[in-house]
Amino acid sequence: MKIVDSHSHIDDEKFDIDREEVISLFDENKIDFIVDPASDVKSSEKIVEIVKKFSRVYGAVGIHPHEVEDITDDDLKKIYNLSFSNKIVAIGEIGLDYYYDNSPREKQKEIFRKQLEIAKKRNLPVIIHTREAMQDTFDILSEFKGDITGVMHCYTGSFEMAEKFINLGFYISISGVVTFKNATNVREMAKKIKLDNLLIETDSPYLTPEPNRGKRNESKFVWLVAQKLSELKNIEINNLIYNTNSNARNLFKINN
Ligand SMILES: [Zn+2]
């Protein structure tokens, strides 16, 4: 059985030296497909080109909250236009980050709302990044209830909050953080998320799962995330993957 990695930054410069090789090993590593989310206009443009070249790579276009400070309506127009490209399956990653506060919070909220408008207009799902900004993220997504679906990427919040996002029509995506020694809360939460609501991801090249921490993260390590979740949930790994794969296909409307 092959596995889907729902969030993998294969466009990252850390893959500039060996991107083709890494992707050529997808068969050997039993990777079905990956979705590569953007962080700014430049990476959105790069992703649009990458997905043309590699059949197993799909993409998203959008502006990460770290990068919104100098974003203009002209840039948003570019994102809108890029979203029409072949194999662009979502708007992302977008959201709020009050941990790093790289951009002013008011500007983060403004650009977040404007990108949700783009997703709504284009009828595309969204990939959400949120850090130390759970309530504001929830409040803004609630304004679009019924009009937008998506995924809470690398979710590490409470189960109670996860249920609220699920009620808005969102999937909860678990990353390699679930393997980290100190991540007891994430394991407790992940245990309770129903298979119907679950996605898995690497967030490669970041967040390398145990026991490989310190190495560059790659999509093949999504198997370690699946392995850990199947143990926690006490279900067969094939059953888990069958569900998370079909959830990803359903969310991103991929029918290959
Ligand atoms: Zn990411």
Look at the chain and count its residues.
Answer: 256
The answer to whether 32 and 245 have CB atoms below 8 angstroms apart is yes
CA of 17 to the centre of ligand 1 (A): 20
Q: What is the mean pLDDT of the chain?
A: 97
pLDDT of residue 101: 85
- Rounded CA-CA distance 80/55 in Å is 23
DSSP codes joined into one string, 100-137: T--S-HHHHHHHHHHHHHHHHHHT--EEEEEES-HHHH
pLDDT, residue 204, reads: 97
The CA 252 to ligand 1 mean position distance, Å, reads 16
Is residue 224 a contact partner of residue 176, using CB atoms and an 8 Å limit? yes
Condensed to tens digits (0 to 9), the pLDDT of residues 192-225 reads: 999 999 999 999 999 999 999 999 999 999 999 9
| pLDDT score at 156 | 96
Using the mean position of ligand 1's atoms as its centre, give its distance from the Cα of residue 203 in Å: 5
Beta-strand runs (E) in 47-201: 57-61, 88-97, 126-131, 150-152, 170-174, 198-200
Query: Which tens digit of pLDDT belongs to each residue from 96-115?
Result: 999 988 889 999 999 999 99
Distance 160 CA to ligand 1 centre (A): 23
Burial of 183 (0-12, 13-18, 19+ CB in 10 A): middle
pLDDT of residue 203: 97
Nearest by Cα to 116 from 84, 135, 153, 143: 143
Residues 21-45 have a mean pLDDT of: 98
Rounded to the nearest angstrom, the distance between the alpha carbon of 30 and the centre of ligand 1 is 22
Output the CA 92–ligand 1 centroid distance in Å. 9
pLDDT surpassing 90 at residue 19:
yes
Tell me how far the alpha carbon of residue 65 lies from the centroid of ligand 1, in angstroms: 11
Q: Are 93 and 63 in contact (CB under 8 A)?
A: no
The pLDDT score that the predictor gives to residue 26 is 98
pLDDT at 183 over 90: yes
Whether 256 has a pLDDT exceeding 80, the answer reads: no
Per-residue model confidence as pLDDT tens digits over 139-159: 999 999 999 999 999 999 999
The neighbourhood of ligand 1, an ion, using CB within 5 A, equals 203
* Side chain identity at residue 12, one-letter code: D
